[in-house]
Structure 1
Amino acid sequence: MFDTVEDPSAAKLETWETWVADMQIHHALFKVSTTPDEEPVDVMVNRRIRHMRGTGPMYCTNASNWLNAFYLAVICREQQRYRELCEIPVDLLREAGESGGSQYNPFIYSWIASIQGFVLNRPTLVDNLKQALDLSAPDPSRIDGADTMNQVVSPQLTTFINLVRRDTERFNESLAEALASHAEYWTATDERANDIEGVVPMPLLAFACFAYDAAEAEPDFDFQVESGYLPKHLLERSWYGEFPT
């Protein structure tokens, strides 16, 4: 993500290499921490196979890291990796992530279950989406503030639902609105404007990548959104296959 500050369209191979390495590290974290303790496991990071040992679930095997790992795998078009991530039980993420006393907004677990249901075509997808919608309503008693839920989470969820429905018009509209909302949120204060997290909205970029690929394969689906928040060469997978990942 740091590289897209200097290379916002991801036109350079070096930018792609950075995103791939970040994806590999995040995936390796889950590969190692979902492998039984001391059992050998091989992962590729930065063009090299690393021989490691499983650790079993740790605090880092949490929902937040899972989402980042998933979005990166989708953006890098690593289907095997993101499908593997979707096989990790949500309860394991909850138990590991909250084992040290940390708490997450309950929404995040329904959100992950919805994503897993979409990728793996599970019959629980609709129920999980309904629960995610209910839990995404701003609530002062929950961890995330109302502005975060309204301007970041809710637009992401709406975009995702329209992707699931393969509703071309509504997907493009909701994605454009979500990107505008992202910009508004991340430029509202100087602190946010200087936060690297606001440079690229990874959930929206991941959904855009799903949609871009779907538009090439499905005649009834069309992708029409352009934005500086969607690095062109990541979206269009310009560097995909340039080297083993």
Structure 2
Amino acid sequence: MHEIPRHEISEEFARGQVDTLQRLIESALEDVESDPDALSAARRRALMRFEYLTALDPAAGKEETWQAAVFASQTANAVFARTSKSEDFVPYRLGDREYQLPVLGPNHHATPVDWLTAAWLAIITRSEQRIAELCEVGKYTLLGSGAKVEEYVRPWVDTMQRYLGGDQVPPALLESVIDLTDPGQAKFASSDFMLLVAYPPANILFRVLRGGPEDFTDALVQATTAHRDYWRQVDFADNPDGFVALAVLAMAIRGKDHGFPVEVESDYLPENLVSGTWSSR
């Protein structure tokens, strides 16, 4: 078993953020049926709250942490639920209530990067329904967001939609993702981001689809270590996005689903999320 410790996080600060973010989420939810921007605000706050909870509950053994992950996944999907409907409103359940969300069509809240985040959360929470919803999001919806993204992002979305939808992933498609995460290909991101954040999850999926257990383990160790190396830098160490390795965690879960043992222990990969403890209850 490979142990990869998480970088130091202030639990006192995290605890305060959890409470503050819950109030901000509740405030945003009051406006999601009237303010088109409120759902995006709730989505970001929900993800951050889940991430801060993992600082307090590294194994994700508490129901509060699990429910926060589910709610973050729901809000991430809801943004896409309102992009391609012909009606004025679309019903969507967030938490224990169904909301009538205003339909916007393609918009700047529903970018390819947002789609990837939603996919990681849907995999982590093992929601076949939300995975299916994301597989139905069309490329023109994502193009219509107007977002400027690195070249690897769109083929990465295409790869994940095919993979999660049960279709064959052409080797050349995934290989193109890996090639385009080369730091020399970066247009907006830093070389460190491309090397330590963008590339490793794609490499794990490559090993899941075309390698064996040892290849998968090597890729998972490298990816988790790379995540730590990026997010422990002084400029990023307090950013909750670094507290849990969403994409790496999602790929670890898919590897486990393929029958590969997950032989990495790390707070970046909460063990109860890897094992599916909550989703099996």
TM range (shorter): 0.7 to 0.9
**Partners of 1:10 and 1:233 within 8 A in 2:** yes
User: Structure 2: how far apart are the matches of 1:167 and 1:93?
Assistant: 33
> Aligned partner of 1:4: which letter?
T
Residues 140 and 75 (structure 1 numbering): CA distance in 2 closer, same or farther, change over 3 Å?
A: closer
Secondary structure of the equivalent of 2:235? helix
Which of the numbers 235, 240, 243 marks the counterpart of 2:279? 240
**Match of residue 25 from structure 1:** 75
Residues 156 and 10 (structure 1 numbering): CA distance in 2 closer, same or farther, change over 3 Å?
A: same
Alignment pair present for 1:2 and 2:73: no
**Partners of 2:181 and 2:194 within 8 A in 1:** yes
**Match of residue 96 from structure 2:** 47
Residues 9 and 55 (structure 1 numbering): CA distance in 2 closer, same or farther, change over 3 Å?
A: same
| Structure 2: 5+ residue stretches without partners | 1-50
Which of the numbers 121, 142, 145 marks the counterpart of 1:93? 142
User: Structure 1: how far apart are the matches of 2:206 and 2:244?
Assistant: 21
Shift of 1:56: 1.4
Alignment pair present for 1:13 and 2:57: no
Alignment pair present for 1:63 and 2:112: yes
What TM-score does the superposition give when structure 2 sets the normalisation length?
0.77
User: Structure 2: how far apart are the matches of 1:45 and 1:178?
Assistant: 32
Alignment pair present for 1:222 and 2:265: no
**Partners of 1:24 and 1:44 within 8 A in 2:** yes
State the identity as a percent: 28
Following superposition of structure 1 onto structure 2, how do residues 99-118 of structure 1 map, counting pairs within 5 Å?
A: 102-118=147-163
Name which of structure 1's ranges 232-241 and 56-65 shifts more when overlaid on structure 2: 232-241
User: Structure 1: how far apart are the matches of 2:68 and 2:82?
Assistant: 21
Secondary structure of the equivalent of 2:183? coil
**Match of residue 177 from structure 2:** 132
User: Structure 2: how far apart are the matches of 1:155 and 1:175?
Assistant: 8
Secondary structure of the equivalent of 2:90? strand
User: Structure 2: how far apart are the matches of 1:49 and 1:209?
Assistant: 29
**Partners of 1:199 and 1:229 within 8 A in 2:** yes
Alignment pair present for 1:162 and 2:218: no
What TM-score does the superposition give when structure 1 sets the normalisation length?
0.87
Alignment pair present for 1:203 and 2:247: yes
> Aligned partner of 1:224: which letter?
E
> How far does the alpha carbon of each residue in 1:139-196 deviate from its partner, in whole angstroms, 9 at most, with x for none?
26611111111112122221111112252110111001110111111112x2211111
> How far does the alpha carbon of each residue in 1:17-64 deviate from its partner, in whole angstroms, 9 at most, with x for none?
1111111111111111232351x4221111222233422121111111
Secondary structure of the equivalent of 1:22? helix
Which of the numbers 233, 236, 250 marks the counterpart of 1:192? 236
User: Structure 2: how far apart are the matches of 1:162 and 1:175?
Assistant: 9
| Structure 1: 5+ residue stretches without partners | 216-220
Shift of 1:106: 1.4
> Aligned partner of 2:57: which letter?
D
How large is the Cα RMSD of the aligned pairs?
Answer: 1.8
Name which of structure 1's ranges 145-154 and 222-231 shifts more when overlaid on structure 2: 222-231
**Match of residue 143 from structure 1:** 188
User: Structure 1: how far apart are the matches of 2:185 and 2:109?
Assistant: 27
**Match of residue 84 from structure 2:** 34
Secondary structure of the equivalent of 1:92? helix
> How far does the alpha carbon of each residue in 1:82-115 deviate from its partner, in whole angstroms, 9 at most, with x for none?
122022123421222x1xxx41111100111111
